[in-house]
Amino acid sequence: MKKLAIIIFLIFTTSFTPIAAKFTVAEISPLSLAFLRFGIAAILFNIIFLFKKGSYKIDRSDIIMFLILGALVIPINQFFFLEGIKLSLASHSGVTYACTPLFAYVISIAMNHEKFTIKRLIPILLTIAGIFFVFYDSIMKTKVADSNVLLGDILLVFAVLSWAAYITLNRDCIKKYGALKTSTIAFTIGIIMYIPIFIFDMKNLTFENLTLPGILGFIHLTFFVAFAGYFVFTYAIRYIKITELTTSTNLAPVVAIVFSWILLKEEITYFFIVGATITILGVFLSQYQNQQQTGGVIN
């Protein structure tokens, strides 16, 4: 029962993140929203860290790495994600973020952390083909409605790249300092870096148009995703087989697509369905191959 609850929570937080963001960025400036949600999350992380009597001390040789992690996780990632979701569609975001494990794998290859194998080429090509269909759908929407969906999708790709880079680069720090300390320091550095951006955008910050969906979206993004999601995921990878976890959470983009159609009335075209299906299949095959190599369990 506990395992099922964890999986449901992770699917819920992952799949509803783009939907919550879509509601909230319509009512709060994206640049200010990033500071508010991660500012609260950073405070909560620091409270937990201090309660556990943690030490902020790190080796001097790791300072640059923590500066990079801080920049990636908040200023860079949040700019691309929230500005991207404002222009794009929640369903497109759900599919794009499903590519995170594959992007992380490609970045790991570039950093010589992992070796490329021919078997992994097929999932990569499938994912690229799927994203092409999604982008083609964006181009069609842009031509018909004179919208900025395509630009939003491009920003979302950079958001996924920055997030994939963050989770790839922080592995060594987590091994050395632990997940809580690494996240607390990275979030704190990131939010400090973000202060000038927040000050610049304060003129656009207003709560006059805030509605119940916007409030619920903010609560989801801040407390369920940025804060609680960390603890649940950390617990999950210790006690649930990664095969079960990844197979189950692959449902998240499907759930995101369905509820984007129901709650946001987004148009789901045949091109997008084909692209989403191919992309999710490519990601699933990539994860499956990785699990076969690692034995399916993260220690």
- The answer to whether residue 27 sits within a structural domain is yes
What average pLDDT score do residues 265-292 get? Answer: 77
Predicted pLDDT of residue 291:
57
Report pLDDT digits (tens) over 94-148.
888 888 877 887 888 887 777 777 777 777 777 778 877 777 777 776 665 567 8
pTM: 0.85
- The answer to whether residue 68 sits within a structural domain is yes
- The answer to whether residue 231 sits within a structural domain is yes
- The answer to whether residue 36 sits within a structural domain is yes
Closest CA to 11 of 244, 277, 196: 244
Total number of domains in the chain: 1
**Bigger pLDDT: 249 or 196?**
196
Burial readout 189-222 (b: 16 or more C-beta within 10 A, e: otherwise): bbbebbeebbeebeeeeeeeeeeebbeebbebbb
Predicted pLDDT of residue 179:
85
Tokens matching residue 163: 């997030």
Tokens matching residue 159: 């958001």
- The answer to whether residue 290 sits within a structural domain is yes
Predicted pLDDT of residue 144:
57
**Bigger pLDDT: 72 or 244?**
72
- The answer to whether residue 204 sits within a structural domain is yes
Predicted pLDDT of residue 244:
60
- The answer to whether residue 299 sits within a structural domain is no
- The answer to whether residue 202 sits within a structural domain is yes
Q: Is 112 left (phi over 0), alpha (psi -120 to 50) or beta?
A: left
Predicted pLDDT of residue 186:
94
- CA trace torsion 148, 152, 153, 156 (10° rounding): 180
What average pLDDT score do residues 265-274 get? Answer: 84
Compute the distance between CA of residue 97 and CA of residue 160 in angstroms, rounded to an integer: 6
What average pLDDT score do residues 195-221 get? Answer: 94
Report pLDDT digits (tens) over 286-298.
666 665 554 433 3
Closest CA to 150 of 96, 217, 200, 224: 96
* Residue 245 domain boundaries: 2-294
Report pLDDT digits (tens) over 139-179.
776 665 567 888 899 999 999 999 989 988 988 898 899 88
Is it the case that residue 200 has pLDDT exceeding 50? yes
